[in-house]
Structure 1
Amino acid sequence: MTSTDNISSPAPVPPAAPEGREKASGPRSRKGMATRARLVTAAKAVFEDAGFLDARISDIAERAGLSHGSFYHYFDSKEQVFREVAKAIGSLLQEPLYTTIFNPASTATPAERIRQGSRAFLESYRAEARIIGVIEMVSRYDPELTSTRFEYHQAERVRAIKAVQQLQHRGWMDSSVHPDVALAALSAMMNRFAEMWFVQKLFDLDFDEGVEQLTKLSLNALRLADDPASRVVFG
């Protein structure tokens, strides 16, 4: 049984924090921030092992080495800490976009950056496939999680759009393609490809070959040549 097997129906309404307990106020000190991070790390492990529906707050607190009541000082519910886990994973998967592909300090060609970024993305996705599987399933019936993920991805899109527009301005990408559409479509392709490969395990593919195929598809979609002489400054 995989971690996603436990998610087959909408989650029940979460219980409120125990009566008499104050609403989660979050960390107010370095120690508090460290404790909150421990809870997020513990929650990730519990959700991976038990799935979302069967995960219990007491299990998360125990995994973090804290009392059950301590959980409510930082989070109101299981749903809230789950969304925090999802946000952290989303940040991890987005990182190659800005540290590699659209890094203004890089001197690599667009093709080299896309290849390096695709590899970094797929490596992270493969390493976190268990929790990503749970997140993808929960997001299908949790509108707030879906909205939070969308807003997070949108927050940094301006940089990416400018980079695509720069490619168009230099004549290296079809100017009739809308940057928003291009980015959304490529992102959807990469994420769905990785989900089918690492979460659903629908096909068996050599990792290096998978990276190369994803790179070629991205280059073709953007009409970028895999040419070491072609250079562009992103950012």
Structure 2
Amino acid sequence: MRKQGAIGKESRLRLLEAAAEEFALSGFYQTKISSIVARAGLTQPAFYLYFESKEAAFAELVADFRNGLSQAVRDSHIGPGKNREDLKEAVVASLEQIYRFLGRNPALTRIGLYLSPESVGIKAEIAGLMEQNLIEEQQAGYYRQDLDAIFFAECLLAIIERLTLIKLLPGHETPSQLARQTQDLFFYGILDMQQRS
């Protein structure tokens, strides 16, 4: 019984992974259950053993993405007690955690962040979580007190969203590189400080 349970879990996972790849490649409407099971190396009856429909598999993938990204953002919060020297690296580590989640499963990220009708709502939730983190970090004395946390959270999310699409998913930059570049932009801006009068 236990072996069948393990085999069933493995088959279900293979179907979800195959579905993510097919949805990311072809979009929801063009993806067929036959293409999902072919990619997974399983049969259509096996698909219906685990999912009522293509819609159910898609909805589960979107929910997995939403939950995973939300947790990554919550975990990226920088707690109190950092000194100035440590803050820069803490911010890099925080951003890297988010980029690493987004890069771990590119197909799932494409679905949840760009293709799903729920993506707008997901991004609004993520911006809200980022705003909460920023407010708490601002209260810890890490950032300017006049910083508009809502504006900053929306800017940060927009940068992460765009860089994920054009740099991370195609493999042009690593999560670590993107985290460091994002942190550097926010900490130091674009002015050449040596040339300021």
Between the aligned residues of both structures, percent identity stands at 19
Q: Which residue among 147, 153, 174 is the counterpart of 2:144? A: 174
User: Is the aligned partner of 1:102 residue 2:77?
Assistant: yes
Alignment match of 2:34 (pick from 58, 65, 71)? 58
SS in 1 for 2:88: helix
Letter in 2 for 1:216: D
**1:114 Cα shift?**
1.5
Which secondary structure does the structure 1 equivalent of 2:89 belong to? Answer: helix
Give the drift of 1:47: 3.0
Correspondence for 1:165: 135
In structure 1, stretches of 5+ residues that fail to align are: 1-29, 222-235
Matched residue, 2:105: 128
Pair 1:80 & 2:56 matched = yes
- Count residues with an aligned counterpart: 182
Q: 1:219 to 1:79 in 2, by over 3 A?
A: farther
Q: 1:106 to 1:42 in 2, by over 3 A?
A: farther
Pairwise CA RMSD of aligned residues?
4.0
Per-residue deviation, 1:115: 0.6
CA distance in 1, matches of 2:14, 2:120: 25
Pairwise CA distance, 1:127: 4.4
Distance 1:75 1:151 in 2: 28
Cα deviation digits, residues 194-231 of structure 1 (max 9, x gap): 21223478xx668755432111124358xxxxxxxxxx
Greater helix proportion = 2
TM-score (norm 2): 0.64
What is the identity, as a one-letter code, of the residue corresponding to 2:99? L
Specify the alignment match of 1:197 in structure 2: 167
Q: Is the 8 A contact 1:125 1:194 kept in 2?
A: yes
Could you state the TM-score of these two structures normalised by the residue count of structure 1?
A: 0.56
What's the CA shift for 1:191? Answer: 1.6
1:232 corresponds in structure 2 to: none
